Structure 1
Amino acid sequence: MKEKLEEMLVYSEKGKVISGVLGILIYSIGLNLFIVPLGLYSGGLMGICQLIRTFLTSVLGLQFGSFDIAGIINYVLNVPVVILAYKVMNRIFVRKLVVILTAMSIFLSLIPIPAEPLLDEPLTGCLIGGIICGFGIGTYLRAGCSGGGFEVIGLYLTRKRNDFSVGKMSMIVNAVIYSICLVLFDVEVAIYSIIYMVFYSITMDKLHSQNILVEAIIISKTNNDLIEQNILKELHHGITHWNAHGGYTEENADVFYTVISKFEIATLKRIVYSANPQAFMVVKEGISVSGNFVKRL
């Protein structure tokens, strides 16, 4: 039974990686075909990579043709991020991170960038490009994958400071990027880049289940301490447990109650069923939480 469970978990993670790679492919298509030809800039670490690319081509005069060097720059800048993730995240997360970063670098490098924008109207390009890119990113986030960058750094900092959030960090970084765009380029570049990010963010949020809260009730008879410890260690959410008595089995058990995001359900299942394959779990969506629960993403 345990071997079958482990095999199921492995294949489940493989399926998530495949979904993540597909999401990155969609994102790369939207970026290279619609956003880059318009001369617009993304937010986050990719936006910084694009600014470095512009410096290399416009200031230093280096030419890369239809090859987007931003993908390679992104890979290089993420090396310290991978090292950080290796130290503070679980190994499954790190493996998926490396796969996604490699796929992103390959796709952004191989998908040719049109010499001229596919659409004459920049606003339409922002809309279509934002939807495609947001759909791609939302797809890999739903698969529990990460594209590295400031997301991982932000997750690390949230463990150090309760008042910190990835969203706050993202807002600061993006404000700096678009301020640079406003200074170095014309106003239209900054404005259309922001419009692109708005469409991108809206589409991504529609797919991303990170901020949908669920309550989970777990009934277990064995390895209960391990379950509780790993939930606290990996999910960093509080957990309440009490003793129970089975009405049918007439056996003692522990009941655990916790609130997590929908995004974390797969991790919770892995924690519980790897410790006790016979555990019973109930997950309920559509709840409202008041009190000391911090959504950090």
Structure 2
Amino acid sequence: MDKLYNWLIIFAGSILLGFAFNMFLLPHEILSGGVTGIAMIFSLMLPLNAGIWLFVLNIPILILGWMKLGKMFILNSIYSVAVTSISMLYIPVMKVTEDVLLSSVFGGVLVGIGVGFIIRSYGSTGGFDVIGLLLTMKRDIPLGFMVFGLNSLVVFVSGFIFTWELAMYTMASIYITGLVVDRIHTRHIKLNMQVVTSKGDEVKKHLLENLYRGITVTDGEGAYSGNKVKILHSVITRYELAYVRPLIKEVDPDAFVSISETMEVMGNFRRDENFKKVPGHPQSL
């Protein structure tokens, strides 16, 4: 059911991207960022639909992601790219409004919503999303900010090919997209997690097998019951919270779990790089 839910979210987000591209951005020659923006440039200069260019240009990047981010993530990304490409073939390229600024703002918001929910569903739109996720594995930088920096190259290219005024509209649209993505994709926000459980060894083992974080274990005692318990402490990202909840409930449904937002993390936040990744697990995202 979780996979089906993710596929539905990715499908809806990809359709939203096709709508935003063909209804708001392309009619005014406002580009999206990254590989999608390059596909738009090619479609405006050559007699071939942007959806086809989008799929072709993403092939080498998706191969790289397959090796670094896991099969499930890349399969979801291929699905997203395919749905977006097909939607761009069938959604007509037409202006919703003649106002270029309105189109860049609303187009940027819609792209940000689509990209954000696709990434939260363990997928991506390919292109610079994959490259940005690979870079955020090494640095705790907001994904939207990272992708915005990578997309600046497309803005400069569009300025030389078209006009600098359109390039500035493109920059505004990409910036808004980055802000919206960071509102939805909250990997860089850290959470302090404390688990009080009578099945400490089992919960610890299950989390270590599936979570890309270290855990500190202390002994505790229930003040009322007097029962001996284990207290597990870890720092996770907000993005991982939805993944961690069922892991704990699977072993101990009666565990007491406390979650609070942490302001700063010092020391080794990630586990050793030699940690064996679980196939399909979104820890790299």
**CA spacing shift, 1:200–1:227, aligned 2, 3 Å:** closer
Query: Across the two proteins, how many residue pairs are aligned to each other?
Result: 269
Does the CA contact (< 8 Å) of 1:210 and 1:263 recur in 2?
yes
Does the CA contact (< 8 Å) of 2:115 and 2:124 recur in 1?
no
Match of 1:5 in 2: none
Unaligned runs of at least 5 residues, structure 2: 271-283
- Distance in structure 1 (CA, Å) of the matches to 2:71 and 2:252: 21
- Distance in structure 1 (CA, Å) of the matches to 2:114 and 2:228: 47
Structure 1 residues 25-104: aligned runs within 5 Å: 25-55=15-45, 57=46, 63-64=47-48, 69-104=49-84
Q: Which amino acid aligns with 2:238?
A: K
**1:15 equivalent in alignment to 2:8:** no
Deviations 1:104-141 (A, max 9, x none): 22212221112xx3322211221222222222223333
Which residue among 127, 130, 140 is the counterpart of 2:105? 127
- Distance in structure 1 (CA, Å) of the matches to 2:52 and 2:225: 59
- Distance in structure 2 (CA, Å) of the matches to 1:281 and 1:124: 48
**CA spacing shift, 1:163–1:282, aligned 2, 3 Å:** closer
**CA spacing shift, 1:88–1:131, aligned 2, 3 Å:** closer
Q: Which amino acid aligns with 1:143?
A: S
Match of 1:228 in 2: 208
Judge which range, 204-213 or 190-199, deviates more.
Answer: 204-213
Structure 1 residues 135-154: aligned runs within 5 Å: 135-154=113-132
Does the CA contact (< 8 Å) of 1:217 and 1:255 recur in 2?
yes
Q: Which amino acid aligns with 1:18?
A: L
Which residue among 211, 215, 227 is the counterpart of 1:239? 215
**CA spacing shift, 1:201–1:158, aligned 2, 3 Å:** closer
- Distance in structure 2 (CA, Å) of the matches to 1:203 and 1:169: 13
Measured on the aligned residues, the alpha-carbon RMSD in Å equals: 3.2
Structure 1 residues 235-274: aligned runs within 5 Å: 237-244=213-220, 254-269=230-245, 271-272=247-248
Match of 1:291 in 2: 266
Secondary structure of the corresponding residue to residue 209 of structure 1: coil
Which residue among 271, 282, 296 is the counterpart of 2:257? 282
- Distance in structure 1 (CA, Å) of the matches to 2:247 and 2:52: 35
